[in-house]
Amino acid sequence: MTYAFLAAHTKRLRFGTGVLVLPMRRDIVVTAKQIATLDHLSNGRAEIGVGVGAYREEFEALNPGTQVHRGDMVEEGVKALQLLFSERNASFDGKYYQFKDVELYPKPKQKRLPIYFGGNSPNHLRRTAKSADGWIPAGLPLETLRRMVGELKQMTEEAGRNFADIQVAPQYVLHLGRDQEKAVASYQRSQMYKHFESLKKSTLKAQRATKSEDINLIGSFQTVIDRANAFRDAGVTHFLGLFIAANSVSEFLDQMQMFAEEVRPNIR
């Protein structure tokens, strides 16, 4: 709904979900119809990132007593979406999703609507290499990202696909300031910082000992420029999700303006 609103007020911006939690959406046909509608309303500017969600507790609260492998469910959901987007008359009989003789029309505006797997699990590299258009890791340290991009390249080539067609579009938090120490201190007062600390118990448990301000696009203008360019050199093609850490609308707008004027022109 948010992207449909924004699409009506813009002409060139592309919109990527980071991420659409497929296990929360049991009716895959309705989800496909919503995505296709957004792609038409935006004139072909939608990109769909899908994932399992950060907190399994959320899934269990909506689906009490249900035993599923959420990663397998997302993988199956992508297969179902791609079938609905490409076949005139589509049927699917999976473990988690089933439909028969569905004619989804109109198809998405884009001939191939980009679908990315979101998540840091090595399984998502395999899923991306096999069938998706890109990968959306979240908050990975630079060297970990570089290594995993190399692994994704190898898997993609082994799958008989061209790695140049795969997008590496990570999510990072953004918080800028003219002074490094003040910028970090300001970030640590944000709700986003508290969210990242909570993720160390789930999605980011492998990074418990790492400070989020040392990984993300946080700090002075030059610090963020250097870090963004380092990500580019490590294989990042674009940032699908930049989560601006801000505790008010005015702070959010200030951060957007600083990024647009001071940082974006200096990213290669």
Q: Is the pLDDT of residue 176 over 80?
A: yes
- pLDDT tops 90 at residue 196: no
**Predicted pLDDT at 90:** 97
For residues 196 and 177, what is the distance between their CA atoms, to the nearest angstrom? 20
Structural contact between residues 53 and 23, judged by C-beta atoms closer than 8 angstroms: yes
In this prediction, residue 209 carries a pLDDT of: 72
In sequence order, which residues have a C-beta less than 8 Å from that of residue 239 and are 6 or more positions away? 169, 170, 171, 172, 228, 231
Rounded CA-CA distance 221/264 in Å is 10
State residue 165's pLDDT score: 94
Looking up tokens 């797997």, which residue turns up?
117
Question: pLDDT digits over 73-116, tens only?
Answer: 999 999 999 999 999 999 999 999 999 999 999 999 999 999 99
| pLDDT value at 61 more than 90 | no
pLDDT band, residue 44 (cuts 50/70/90): very high
Question: Mean of the pLDDT values across residues 56-74?
Answer: 83
DSSP letters along the chain, please?
Answer: -HHHHHHTT-SS--EEEEEEEGGG---HHHHHHHHHHHHHHTTS-EEEEEE--S-HHHHHHHSTT----HHHHHHHHHHHHHHHHH-SSEEEE-SS-EEEEE---SPPSSSS--EEEESSSHHHHHHHHHH-SEEE-BS--HHHHHHHHHHHHHHHHHTT--GGG-EE--EEEEEEESSHHHHHHHHTTSHHHHHHHHHTTTTTGGGTTS-GGGTSEEEEHHHHHHHHHHHHHTT----SEEEE--SSHHHHHHHHHHIIIIIGGG--
Lowest average pLDDT, out of 5-14, 187-196, 243-252, goes to: 187-196
pLDDT at position 6 is 93
Q: What six digits make up the tokens of 177?
A: 């300031």
Q: pLDDT for 15-37, tens place per residue?
A: 889 899 998 888 999 999 999 99
- What pLDDT does 42 receive? 96
Q: What is the pLDDT of residue 57?
A: 81
pLDDT given for residue 38 in this prediction: 96
The least confident of 8-22, 141-155, 203-217 is 203-217
Higher pLDDT, 243 or 209: 243
Query: What pLDDT, on a 0 to 100 scale, did the predictor assign at position 66?
Result: 79
pTM for the model:
0.87
pLDDT tens digits, residue range 209-232? 788 899 999 999 999 999 999 999
Residue type, 61: A
- pLDDT(252) > 90: yes
Q: How many CB atoms sit inside 10 A of residue 147's CB?
A: 13
Cα–Cα distance list, 82 to 36, 48, 69 (Å): 11, 12, 20
Question: What average pLDDT score do residues 50-76 get?
Answer: 84
